[in-house]
Amino acid sequence: MSGAPLLPVSQALERVLASAPSPLPAEHISLTQARGRTLAEDVAALRTQPPFPASAMDGYAVRASDIAQVPASLHVIGTSAAGHRFAGAVGAGQAVRIFTGAPVPDGADTILIQENTRAEGDAVIALESEEAGRYVRRAGLDFTHGEVLLARGRRLGPPELALAAAMNHPTLPVTRRPRVALLATGDELVRPGESLGPDQIVASNTYAVAAYAEAAGAEVIDLGIAGDRFSDLEASIRAAREAGADVLVTLGGASVGDHDLVQTALSREGMELGFWRIAMRPGKPLMHGRIGDMRILGLPGNPVSAIVCGVLFLVPLVRALSGDPKAGEDRSEIAVLGLDLPANDSRQDYLRAHIAGMRDGHPLVEAFSRQDSSMLRVLAEAECLIVRDAHAPPAKAGEACRIVRL
């Protein structure tokens, strides 16, 4: 298997997404819990908004014909406020004091704004004329009862939640959150703050990968750290299945060294291997498979490799399981190189870079000189990844490139 050709990144992503052929089951939750969730069904308006002609300004509801010639004196016969409409109708030579959002009374067809008036006792003097319909929000201006305004697969942010509330939906049908179990592996790892042996390091990958998974919509299950023993690894894999994980993400141990036991442990627990090793830098040892209904994503142990693979493969998988129809969409964008780049080899490269400004409407990006996949400091300073195709020729500063934002 070690001599097999490396799988291109695009094909690897296709296979990862193919393991989520349909979204997870739906559940109904309250609006207060729905931020970041994905709609499982189309959502139609349960009311018309606004449900009546409403004033867009403070002023007076009048008939446009009565103020065609100004100045014009109108008799004020009442008030219409938000939540408290004027019950009568506006006749010739009459006006109703009105406030923003209040129902426009019958008979009135325009709003004379407050700035263009002068009050005189129980009369108002119109100082400017207005055409019919001015400052009147017609009934249904925003939407009407029965209109589908939020489609299945729509991710719910603050504007969508406000719209759903205006549509009179106290709850929404959303796809269940994908459960992503994270398992760090290796005798060398300890959690932050714990006692470190002379040959140990602090486990850091879990925290970044968990954050990306949660931001994509997942519920994260932290399985902790499994040592380099089959018994530990197999117990953790079984714990992931017992927790109902939709995805098990292993961090480290997926290579072929004497202490890289993860792939064997997964196989012993029944994994059907989809692929292992891809033509990518950083992230060559990426592994994908499944155990029953649980998808497996084996990320490399080097911190940058794990995080970049999480961005490129785990995030789209979580979105696909959540029902996002654009889960596999290319999220790269055009940028301009700020520095020369050498020719690339046979692996697609993802260079950590920062955005130095804008040029011709596109980000101006500069790759860091140090690209070692163990260096979290460089990754933390990076704002994007410059994507370099396999066998790409040298590139000069000022040329176009593609980036993936971090």
Helices (H), 243-310: 262-268, 303-309
- Give the residue from 53, 260, 226 showing the smallest Cα distance to 140: 53
Give the mean pLDDT of 41-55.
98
Residues 215-247 have pLDDT tens digits of: 999 999 999 999 999 999 999 999 999 999 999
Please report the pLDDT score of residue 1 as a whole number.
Answer: 45
State residue 275's pLDDT score: 95
Average pLDDT over residues 251-267: 79
pLDDT, position 41: 97
Helix (H/G/I), strand (E/B), else coil: 32: helix
Q: What is the pLDDT of residue 5?
A: 84
Question: Can you list the pairs that 227-232 forms with residues at least 24 positions away whose Cβ atoms lie under 8 Å?
Answer: 227/185, 227/186, 227/187, 228/185, 228/186, 228/187, 228/253, 228/259, 228/261, 229/261, 230/261, 230/264, 230/265, 230/268
pLDDT of res. 283: 94
Domain 33-46+144-175, classified CATH 3.40.50.300, yes or no: no
Provide CB contacts within 8 A for 135, sequence distance 6+. Answer: 55, 56, 57, 59, 110, 111, 113
Range 386-400 average pLDDT: 97
What proportion of the chain, given as a percentage, has pLDDT over 70?
Answer: 98
pLDDT at 366 over 70: yes
pTM: 0.88
Average pLDDT over residues 330-341: 97
Query: In this predicted structure, what is the pLDDT of residue 243?
Result: 97
- Sequence ranges of the domains in the chain: 9-24+177-321, 33-46+144-175, 54-137, 333-405
Let me know if domain 54-137 sits in CATH 2.170.190.11.
Answer: yes
Architecture of domain 9-24+177-321: 3-Layer(aba) Sandwich (3.40)
Please report the sign of the dihedral spanned by the C-alpha atoms of residue 299, residue 303, residue 304, residue 308: positive
| CATH code at 333-405 | 2.40.340.10
Closest CA to 52 of 92, 76, 93, 80: 80
Please report the pLDDT score of residue 220 as a whole number: 98
For 260-316, the pLDDT digits (tens) are: 799 999 999 999 999 999 999 999 999 999 999 999 999 999 999 999 999 999 999
Share of the chain above pLDDT 90, in %: 97
Mean pLDDT score, 136-144: 97
Q: Is it the case that residue 396 has pLDDT exceeding 90?
A: yes
What is the structure's pLDDT at 254? 66
Provide the pLDDT for residue 305: 95
Residue 2 pLDDT greater than 90, yes or no: no
Task: Give residue 26's pLDDT.
Answer: 97
Q: How large is the average pLDDT for residues 178-189?
A: 96
User: Quick one: average pLDDT of 350-368?
Assistant: 97
- Average confidence (pLDDT) over 121-150: 97
Q: What is the CA radius of gyration of the chain?
A: 31
Answer yes or no: is pLDDT of 386 > 70. yes
Summarised one tens digit per residue, pLDDT across range 56-111 is: 999 999 999 999 999 999 999 999 999 999 999 999 999 999 999 999 999 999 99
